[in-house]
Structures are given as C-alpha cells and as structure tokens.
Amino acid sequence: MHKFIFLVGAISSLLFLSCNKAPATISASTDFSTLEQSVITDFTNNIALNAYLQLSVNATQLNTALLNLSNNSTDANLLAAQTAWKNMRAVWEQSESHLFGPVEDNDYDPNMDTWPTDYVQMDSVLSSNNALTVQDIQGFTLSLRGFHPIEYIIFGEHGSRTAAELNSRQKTYMISLSADINTSCNDLYLSWASAPVNFAQQVITAGNGSTKYAKRQELLLAITEGMAGICEEVGEGKIQEPFDARNPAIVESPYSGNSTADFKNNIIGISNVYMGLNGGKGLKDLVAAKNKSLDNTIQAQITAAINSFDNITLPFEEAILNQRVQVQQTMDALAILKETIETQLRPFIVQYITD
Amino acid sequence: MKKWRVIIGLVLVVAVFIRCNKVSVFAESGYDNRLSGGIATVFDETSKAFSHVIEGLTARDAAVHQTGDKAFEQTFVTAPAPVNSGLGPVFNNVSCISCHHNDGKGTPTAGFITSSLLFRISIAGTDAHGGPMPAEGFGGQLQDLAIFGRQPEVKVNISYTNLPFTYPDGNQVVLRQPAYQVTNAYRLLPAGYMISPRLAPPVFGLGLLENIPEATLLAFTDINDANGDGISGKANYVFNAHTNSMQIGRFGLKANTADILTQAAGAYQQDMGITNYVFKQESSYSQLQHDGLSDDPELADSLLNAVAFYIKTLAVPARRNVTDAGIKKGEYLFQQINCTGCHIATIQTGVNIGLPQISNQRIHPYTDLLLHDMGEGLADNRPDYLATGSEWRTAPLWGIGLFEKTNGIPFYLHDGRARTIEEAILWHGGEATAAKEQFINLSQADRNCLINFIKSL
C-alpha cells in the first residue's frame, strides 16, 4: 500500500514538473520581447514618423492658405488660413508628447513655438525696410519666428482680425514665416525618415545596434519621460502660471482662442503614445501583459485628463478668472496622471524591460 | 563577592559596547558608488537626466524650485512688454535654457540663437578688484546678437584646423583646433584686446559644489607642488558683487564666480541683457546701443532667487554600469595614472541646516574646483583674477557620460572643441601632461576601459 502511495506521489510530481516545463517560460519571454519590438516599431511608424509627416503636409497647407489670403484678401480666405493654422497646431501639440530626438537636439521646438510674442520687435520689423525674406526670418530672434507671430497677424487681438486690415508688410512677413516653418518641418521629418540622421532607424533598432539607445529600456524610459514632461509642462506651466497669476496676458496662443485646444491636444498626444495609433501596439500592450490593473489605471487617468478640458467652456484667458474650479480640476487630473507615469509606469519599465 | 561579580559584569558590558562603537570609518565597500551626489542623486539616463529636483524638499522649497524651473525656460522679449520684458538691447541668447540645453551643455557656435558659446573680452591690467580690465565700449563680454534695429557688438567667426594625432600603437585620432576671428565690431576694438571662449556648462549639482567647505578646497591646493607630482592647484579669489567682498571662486570655467546667485545674476545681465538686483545696469550702459529705458531692474528679485534656488537643487544623475569589470578597470587606471590628482573622486560637503539634501553628503564630482595650468594648447592667454592665461578650473566630470543624451551631439572642454572624451583627454597639457602621457602609452583596450569609466560617470 505504501509503495502504491509512493508511486502515485512520484507520478504526480512528474506531472507537476512537466506542467512547469521550461519551454513555456522561454516562449512567454520571447513573446514579451516580440511585443516590446512591436511597440517600438509601431511607435516609430504610427506615432512619430506619422506626426512629422503630417506636420510637414500641414505646413505646406498653411503656406498655401496664407499665399491665397495674400493674393486674395477675403474673409473666407482668412478663415481658411486660420483653420490651416489650427490644424497644424493640433498635430504639433500632439507631437509634443514625444519631444525627444532631433526635435529636441536641433532646437526645432524653440524655432517654431517660442512664446511670448515680442510686440516691440515685431512692430520694428514690420515698419522697417527689411525685405522679410525667409533668410531674413531665419536670422531673427526666436520670438520673431514660428507659429505665434503668424497667429498674431491672422487672428489679431482676441481673434478680431478682418482680411481688409492686413497690410502688405504683414502679408510678406506671414508668408515668409510659414515658409520658414515649412522648411523646419521638412527638415524635421527628413531627420527621422532618411539619412544621414535616420532617427527612425535609431529608435527601431533600440537595444539592437542603435547608437542612440543601447537598450530598449533606455528608449522606453525616454518615451515615458516625454509623457511625464508634457503633463508637467501643461499642468504646472502653461495652465498653472497664468492661473496662479490671474493674468490672461501670459496665456499661450491667446489671439486664436486656441489655448484649451492646444493643451488638450498635448494630452491626446500622451494617449496616442500609450494606446498606439492606427491599430498599432502602444505602451498599453506592454503594461497590460504584466499588470492589467496598472493599465486600467493609466487608461482611466488619461481619459479623465482629456475629458476634463471639456468642462472649460470659456476662452482660457477668461476661464482662469471665471472657471477656476474647472481649471483646477484639469490641473489635478494632470498631476494625478503625471504622478502615475513617474511612480508606476516608469518603475514598470525598469522592472520589466530588462534587455 | 557578589559585588565583584556585578562590577566585573558591568565592566565587561561597557568594554563590549565601547568595542562595538570603535569603528570610526565606514568601510569604502559599504557605499553605493552610483550615488554621485549622495542623497541628492537621481536615477535617470534619458535626455532629462540633468533636470530633476533633488528628492525630499519641503513643499515650499519644491514650489520655489518649480518657479525657478519655469523662469529658467522663459524667453525674454524686448521692453516694454507685458511678460518677460527687457531682452538686450545686445545679448548672447534669449533664455537660460537656450544655452544650457536640457540643463546641460550646448553647441559651440556663436552668434546664433542656437549657440551656447560666448566670448569674454578684456585689455591688459586689472579692475578695482583685481579682475579683468573691461574693454571700453564692450565691457567684459562680447554680445553678438542685438534686438532688431540695433547692432550686435561683434560677430565671431569660428574655424577649425585638423590636427592628426598618432598613438605609439599606431592608432590615430584627429583633433580640431579652433581659431576665432572677431569681425563687424560696432566700434573700434581696443588695441591688445584679449578674448576667451566659454561654452555653457551643465548646471546640475551646483548646490553641492557650493556647499563644499572652503577649507576642503584649500586642502587640495599645492601651489608650489610640494608633493612633486607635477600638479599644483590654486584657488581663485574673486569679487562677489552680491556680497561686495572677495571670496573663493567656484563657478565659471576659470572659477571666476563665487556663488550660484551671482553666476545666475551675471548671466541674466550679460547673456540676455536682463538687469537684476545684483547687476542693476544694462550690459550696454554708456554704450551706443543702450535702450535708455528706466525699467531696471527688469527681473523680479524673487525670480532671480528662485532661479538660483532651482540651480542649487538640481540633482546629480547616478552612475551607470558600476559593476562592469571593464569599467572597474578603467576606474583603477584613472587613479593609477593620476587623473585623480585634479579630478578628485570623493568629497564631503559641509553642513547646511537649511537644505539637508546637500548637507554633509559624500559626493563624487571628480573636480577640486581649483585652477590648473592646462598648457599652451588650451590656453586663452587671458588672465581672470588669479587665473593665468593657461589656467582653467578642473571641470566636474559627473554626468559627462550623459552629454550624448542631453545634447544630441556632445561637445567637451571649455570651448567645445573636443567631440569625444578621448579628444578631450588628448588636449590636456601643462600640469596634466604626465597623466596624459601615461594614457597615451596604455594599450588601446586599457584606454577604452578608462574612457568607458568616464562615460559611466
């Protein structure tokens, strides 16, 4: 009888051992490694390259719309130019959720998106004899280049511009400004898409021959850092500074009334990176594979942050004075999201991306 | 008898406790040598590695840090303006972050908005405090940009000559030697003017460096080279416009600034044309380009203080790969060939009751903050207080391995001429000649170990 029990015990042990067979473990880690590569590849193609390509297309459309406005200064053409500007801003602001690589290293950001407006110098420039060629613009200081001087010209104070008000100097200036942006956006796209920089290749081969990212973990931490960074910039900078100071004069993008849309697009950018775009994998796939609860938390917090902007119904310059509760709620939602990214998502990457 | 037992028992207990308490030095191996900044260390190796606040500040201090962080990034515009008013009229850049890319170094070009290189200027002689004699019409620094309608003081053209270098083992490296040509001066430059290029240095960890006791730094000095190792080491003593006194210099590439506040105040006024409570007059005061506005100081006192506090409370990035055998060998070689004669690995900061995170910390800055003769190859031939034309302050090496991350393309040395750490080592001369010669004579594998060690900092 004892022998029998021993035999049963031995067979059961063998069964358990076979359940725990090594190949299953290897297969799981191989799958996760494949998933890591998919997330990186899809980030590169669907998020980064796609954003910079779209930005380049939108820059050309803005330039065309401004040329049309210059040649035929109707209010319809002004509206078309304003729409083109806003379309471009949406793509740009979303791309700010992954502000690393050439856009950071080669100062594309300050070249295109410096704030505040330098009214004194702008007036000097417009009343001067400067030819305002693209080369002239590229020699100007940062606050005389990029999106915001164009915004000032085509929207005017509080969006009050009419087509008839535009003078020839403003027209020349805005066209050269947009041509300058066009050049920057093309260069930015090419720095990702082709030699000599080919940054897309550097990203895709992270941990596998990339000279920029020796490990996948480094890249994924850079992506995470970008998400936390934009949360902070929006929540603790762009929103909080004018909110604390109760000062509408320091709100970014005030002429177009586009501030809240800008901020929301920044956070939609985080969603793009986390969730993935166009059916591709996102960081969520990595997180969900190991910690579904954390994935649920992050998804819920991203959604809450994005939706919170919809409660700000007044123009942002007014909201900081008259919708302070709603603005505060948005700041709170962003602070919570940033905290989760820094204290949970980041450690997750360190723990599980172990190449 | 019982009494004796009790007494003996007590003596034994006391003796044992005294013995337990005897260890006076914590074993070297007990420290985590990734903690370059002691408790003020941060674990991040991305492009934002230099931009983190040290952990554990009080809520109030964290808020001041954050205010300073935002101010550090603000772009200034021409006065009068509703925000950030007062740029120029002549300047080198428009914000702190424009030069200190990601709180680190920048690009060694001059006269562009993406540039991080500026030039000091002076003529023979000294000013009232023993500092460089300003050049009339230019002051102590060349502002190579100006607001629209004004003329920059100069334009500086930079060119490089390739200098091939061959190791005894036949390997070759091409160094590049810069040459600077000052053109388009808005007025005649004075005869015999001297210029000195300065690439914006990283700004993290400076609170810790500021908190090293002066006596510790002086203990590193060896002006007459009494120990005969070819390395002297001299403290600079400089005028502090904030405290109105002479103090030991710690900051600036020639240790010509005493503290963080004065460094930041000077950068606002000289680099951006933003007057403040330390430097109340425009850099262009009494010059043709002066704006004539009575809006000084252009920077709120609290913002200058917040920016200085921000810099003071930026954490030091942790070392990486410290257990790697090759890197450990590199560390050994670094000591063996006496790089540590100047790049001192471990220093204890002083007590600072206001900021426990930088107080009494065991840090690894790899600097002595002293002046050393670096030889003709690196000389700017322009004295700066006690620094001669060939002396430079030992650059802190912590974080140097992350320049590739924070800057995209890394540049090294005071003028960014070196594109790799290897090039930077090969430019060493003067007091560092013996160490450099030993480096050159190492095998290529050992040289790589040493370089990889430096990259791990």
State whether A243 and A197 are in the same domain.
no
A18 falls in which pLDDT band (50, 70, 90)?
very low
Sort A67 into a burial class: Cβ within 10 Å, 0-12 / 13-18 / 19+: middle
Residue B154 lies in a domain: yes
Do B284 and B293 touch, CB atoms closer than 8 A? no
A23 falls in which pLDDT band (50, 70, 90)?
very low
Which tens digits make up the pLDDT trace of A280-331?
Answer: 999 999 999 999 999 999 999 999 999 999 999 999 999 999 999 999 999 9
State whether A184 and A297 are in the same domain.
no
A15 falls in which pLDDT band (50, 70, 90)?
very low
Residue B181 lies in a domain: yes
Whole-model pTM: value is 0.90
Farthest-apart Cα atoms in chain A, separation = 109
Determine which helix (DSSP H) or strand (DSSP E) holds B229, and give its type and residue range. Answer: none
Which chain B residues touch A116 with a CB distance below 8 Å?
75, 77, 81-84
CB pairs under 8 A between A and B: 88
Determine which helix (DSSP H) or strand (DSSP E) holds B199, and give its type and residue range. Answer: strand B194-199
Tokens of B410: 């890394």
What amino acid occupies position A287? Answer: V
pLDDT (0 to 100) of residue A136:
94
Taking 70 as the threshold, does the pLDDT of residue A5 lie above it?
no
Q: Tell whether B59 is within 8 A of chain A (Cβ).
A: no
pLDDT (0 to 100) of residue B17:
66
A106 falls in which pLDDT band (50, 70, 90)?
confident
State whether A141 and A285 are in the same domain.
no
Taking 60 as the threshold, does the pLDDT of residue A10 lie above it?
no
Do B427 and B378 touch, CB atoms closer than 8 A? yes
State whether A55 and A153 are in the same domain.
yes
What amino acid occupies position B406? Answer: T
Radius of gyration of chain A (CA): 25
Do B276 and B298 touch, CB atoms closer than 8 A? yes
State whether A185 and A330 are in the same domain.
no
A20 falls in which pLDDT band (50, 70, 90)?
very low
Q: Give the Cα separation of A225 and A223 in Å (integer).
A: 5
Taking 80 as the threshold, does the pLDDT of residue A12 lie above it?
no
Which chain B residues touch A229 with a CB distance below 8 Å?
48
State whether A190 and A262 are in the same domain.
no
Which chain A residues touch B79 with a CB distance below 8 Å?
120
Residue A58 lies in a domain: yes
What amino acid occupies position A17? Answer: L
Cβ-based neighbours of A106, under 8 Å, separated by 6 or more: A188, A191, B114, B408
Instruction: Give residue ranges of A with CB < 8 Å to any B CB.
Output: 100, 102, 104-107, 110-111, 114-121, 124-125, 128, 130, 140-144, 212, 218, 221-222, 225, 229, 236-237, 241, 247, 249-250
Could you tell me the CATH number of the domain that includes residue A302?
1.20.1420.20
Placement of tokens 């790589």 in the chain: B448
What amino acid occupies position A112? Answer: M
- DSSP-derived pairing of the beta strands B117-126 and B194-199: antiparallel
Residue B82 lies in a domain: yes
Tell me the CA distances in angstroms from B404 to A189, A193, B31, one per residue in order. Answer: 21, 21, 28
Cβ-based neighbours of B268, under 8 Å, separated by 6 or more: B274, B275, B276, B279, B299, B304
Residue B328 lies in a domain: no
State whether A162 and A70 are in the same domain.
yes
Residue A24 lies in a domain: no
Q: Tell whether B149 is within 8 A of chain A (Cβ).
A: yes
**Percentage of residues in chain A having pLDDT higher than 90:** 83
Residue B282 lies in a domain: yes
Residue A94 lies in a domain: no
The alpha carbon of residue B237 is apart from the nearest alpha carbon of chain A, in Å, by 37
pLDDT (0 to 100) of residue A4:
56
Tokens of B419: 């594109």
Q: Which domain holds residue A306?
A: 215-355
Residue in A119, A147, A114, A103 with CA at minimum distance from that of residue A258: A147
Across B392-420, b (16+ Cβ under 10 Å) vs e yields: bbbbbbbbbbbbbbbbbebbbbbbbbbbe
Domain finish residue from A149, A177, A207: A207
The answer to whether the CB atoms of A222 and B47 lie below 8 A apart is: yes
Residue B165: strand pairing partners: B173
Count of the separate structural domains present in chain A? 2
Residue B348: strand pairing partners: B362
The answer to whether the CB atoms of B81 and A118 lie below 8 A apart is: yes
Residue B134 lies in a domain: yes
Which chain B residues touch A345 with a CB distance below 8 Å?
none
Angle (CA) B179 B182 B183, round 5°:
130
Residue A11 lies in a domain: no
State whether A167 and A292 are in the same domain.
no
Which tens digits make up the pLDDT trace of A334-346?
Answer: 999 999 999 999 9
Which chain B residues touch A100 with a CB distance below 8 Å?
46-47
Residue B278 lies in a domain: yes
Domain finish residue from A179, A207, A235: A207
Q: Which domain holds residue B172?
A: 61-203+260-298
Q: Which of residues 371-430 of B touch A (CB under 8 A)?
A: 404, 407-409
Q: Give the Cα separation of B89 and B291 in Å (integer).
A: 6
Placement of tokens 């500026």 in the chain: B118
Q: What is the DSSP string of B342-408?
A: TS---EE----TT-GGGTT-EE-------EEE--TTT-----BTTB-TTEEEPPP-TTGGGHHHHHS
State whether A166 and A219 are in the same domain.
no
Sort B363 into a burial class: Cβ within 10 Å, 0-12 / 13-18 / 19+: buried
Residue B135: strand pairing partners: B139
Q: What is the DSSP string of A218-249?
A: HHHHHHHHHHHHHHHIIIIIIIHHHHHHT-GG
Please give the DSSP secondary-structure letter assigned to residue A345.
Answer: I
What amino acid occupies position A284? Answer: K
State whether A272 and A133 are in the same domain.
no
What amino acid occupies position B311? Answer: I
Could you tell me the sign of the dihedral formed by the alpha carbons of B34, B40, B44, B50, in that order?
negative
Q: Tell whether B70 is within 8 A of chain A (Cβ).
A: yes
What is the number of other CB atoms lying within 10 angstroms of the CB of residue A329?
A: 17
Count of the separate structural domains present in chain B? 1
> Which residue of chain B comes nearest to A242, CA vs CA?
B83
pLDDT along chain B (457 residues), means of 10: 79 69 69 96 94 96 95 94 92 95 92 91 97 96 94 96 97 97 97 97 98 98 92 97 97 98 98 97 88 90 98 98 97 97 97 96 98 98 98 98 92 97 98 97 98 98
Residue A258 lies in a domain: yes
Domain finish residue from A141, A174, A207: A207
Residue A154 lies in a domain: yes
Tell me the CA distances in angstroms from B309 to A206, B103, B354, one per residue in order. Answer: 37, 14, 12
State whether A124 and A181 are in the same domain.
yes
State whether A79 and A183 are in the same domain.
yes
Residue B421 lies in a domain: no
Which chain B residues touch A123 with a CB distance below 8 Å?
none
